[in-house]
Amino acid sequence: MVATSATSSFFPLPSSSLDPNGKTNKLTSTNFSGLNPIPNSSGRLKVKPNAQAPSKINGNNVSLPGSVHIVKTDNNHDLSQQHAPRTFINQLPDWSMLLAAITTVFLAAEKQWMMLDSKPRRSDMIMDPFGLGRIVQDGLVYRQNFDIRSYEIGADRSASIETVMNHLQETALNHVKSAGLLGDGFGSTPEMVKKNLIWVVTRMQVVVDKYPTWGDVVEVDTWVSKSGKNGMRRDWLVRDCNTGEILTRASSVWVMMNKVTRRLSKLPEEVRGEIEPYFVNSDPILAEDSRKLTKLDEKTADYVRSGLTPRWSDLDVNQHVNNVKYIGWILESAPVEMMEKHKLKSMTLEYRRECGRDSVLQSLTAVSGCDVGSLGTAGEVECQHLLRLQDGAEVVKGRTVWSSKTPSTTWDTTS
């Protein structure tokens, strides 16, 4: 009964007719042997459909009325005595509508996938349309793409240095994770977690050839190498995903610190065994800038910004200030006149100690290579930086080089 009801809802069965006495006539089988044209002296065509309908539907006997004659005239009037019966055959649905709907859905899905997969393919990597990273080049280099968002650009409509540094940090952590070495810490391997060890950066060198703009897609490669007896070097190469143009090169040195004592530690052999298989035997992507960083104080600095304090959001899972935040604090004392007309070209940082959430810091900047009063018209400007605690203890020392912006990248405040 259930099957019969379901079938009748899609393929309605013929309704019974009443005889003159009010009784229901039984349905009888109809013999449709074909379509036989009947000649007519008036030139009209008479069509006599004779087809054999199935005798059973879902196991139930079904019979249809006797032969039905339909005469079609030139003016398309139906001259039959009764309408054609609603049979299983002539009530089949129009499957073309369903096929058209399915085809439309598949074409729309294919179009969306082609839009996601529109990035240029390279022979040495599996394409990843969703921007997730991949291990490439014999499993030693990690590659990840980033879209430049509207909230990642600065006043000159290009990505800020903090955005670039965040991309570098993100690929470094994802590299450790994709290699299966991520323990319960922030970039720490399982053996490091057992020994309460974490990575801390001691030196960072960055050269920016060109800043991406809103809507650009950048491709970031990163890899690690040995650095001395107890350190590790990590390099990055940032390119424009569409053109392959090199945008940024960066190199850094990392050492281990005990998470409990907050003191530097030697590299344990167990940890060395975990990370050495991923070391790349190559020179640093940047030649080391061995020039000594100038020591600053309030007397030698041209600009000073005091009272800087970490916010809760500035701390990472290891309970110390995120490395990128230090860069922002250093630039707090950089002259606005210089940043309006210049872009950061290169940066060298030396991290001396960490600061906690209750620390109060002071940012100092000294300009060299030009007069402070002519920063807006100067060509290339070099600055010395110092970030220190209130008691004078050095946190980060740095050197930055700034080059003039092209007219197209200078923000027009009148627009």
Q: Which residues pair with 361 in a beta bridge?
A: 308, 389
- Single out the catalytic residue among 50, 69, 318, 370: 318
- Cα 53 from chain centroid (whole Å): 59
Angle at 69 between CA 65 and CA 73, to 5 degrees: 150
> Strands 46-51, 70-71: parallel, antiparallel or unpaired by DSSP?
antiparallel
**Integer Cα distance of 7 and 19 in angstroms:** 27
Q: Kindly state the DSSP code that residue 372 receives in the 8-state scheme.
A: G
291-407 CATH, one of 3.50.50.60, 3.10.129.10, 3.40.50.2300, 3.30.1130.10: 3.10.129.10
* pLDDT exceeds 70 at position 89: no
Which range of 14-23, 176-185, 325-334, 335-344 scores highest in mean pLDDT? It is: 325-334
* pLDDT exceeds 50 at position 413: no
Instruction: Indicate the length of the chain as a whole number.
Output: 415
- The residues, ordered by sequence, that sit 6+ positions from 385 with a Cβ below 8 Å of its Cβ are 296, 330, 333, 334, 363, 364, 365, 366, 396, 397, 398, 399, 400
Q: Do domains 127-288 and 291-407 have the same CATH topology?
A: yes
**Integer Cα distance of 182 and 142 in angstroms:** 14
Q: pLDDT value at position 13?
A: 44
* pLDDT exceeds 70 at position 188: yes
| Residue range 226-239, pLDDT digits in tens | 998 889 999 999 99
Task: Identify residue 233 by its one-letter amino acid code.
Answer: R
Q: Kindly state the DSSP code that residue 12 receives in the 8-state scheme.
A: P
**Integer Cα distance of 236 and 168 in angstroms:** 7
**CA dihedral sign of residues 401, 404, 409, 410:** positive
φ, ψ (nearest 5 deg) of residue 37: -65, 140
Residue 385 designated active-site: no
- Cα 123 from chain centroid (whole Å): 21
Q: How confident is the model at residue 165 (pLDDT cuts 50, 70, 90)?
A: very high
| Residue range 24-69, pLDDT digits in tens | 444 444 444 444 444 444 444 444 444 454 555 555 555 544 444 4
Q: Which residues pair with 33 in a beta bridge?
A: 51
Q: Which residues of 303-319 are buried (b: 16+ CB within 10 A; e: fewer)?
A: bebeebebeeebeeebe
Q: pLDDT value at position 69?
A: 44
The alpha-carbon radius of gyration of the chain (Å, integer) is 39
- Single out the catalytic residue among 145, 175, 241, 320: 320
**Integer Cα distance of 359 and 395 in angstroms:** 11
Residue 318 designated active-site: yes
Identify the residue with better confidence: 353 or 356.
353
Long-range contact set of residues 82-88: C-beta below 8 Å, sequence gap at least 24 = 84/49, 85/14, 85/30, 86/12, 86/13, 86/14, 86/15, 87/14, 87/53, 88/11, 88/13, 88/53, 88/54, 88/57, 88/62
Q: pLDDT value at position 325?
A: 92
Identify the residue with better confidence: 108 or 85.
108
For residue 115, give the H/E element and its range.
helix 95-116
- Single out the catalytic residue among 167, 241, 323, 355: 355
* pLDDT exceeds 60 at position 5: no
- The structural domains of the chain, with segments of one domain joined by +, span 127-288, 291-407
Give alpha helix (H) positions in 269-395.
269-275, 323-330, 336-341
- Dihedral in degrees, nearest 10, Cα atoms 55, 56, 61, 64: -40
**Integer Cα distance of 257 and 264 in angstroms:** 4
Query: What is the third-level CATH fold of 127-288?
Result: Thiol Ester Dehydrase; Chain A (3.10.129)
φ, ψ (nearest 5 deg) of residue 132: -80, 155
Identify the residue with better confidence: 337 or 366.
366
Q: Judge contact between 235 and 243, C-beta under 8 A.
A: no
State the pTM of this model.
0.66
- The residues, ordered by sequence, that sit 6+ positions from 392 with a Cβ below 8 Å of its Cβ are none
**Integer Cα distance of 111 and 286 in angstroms:** 42
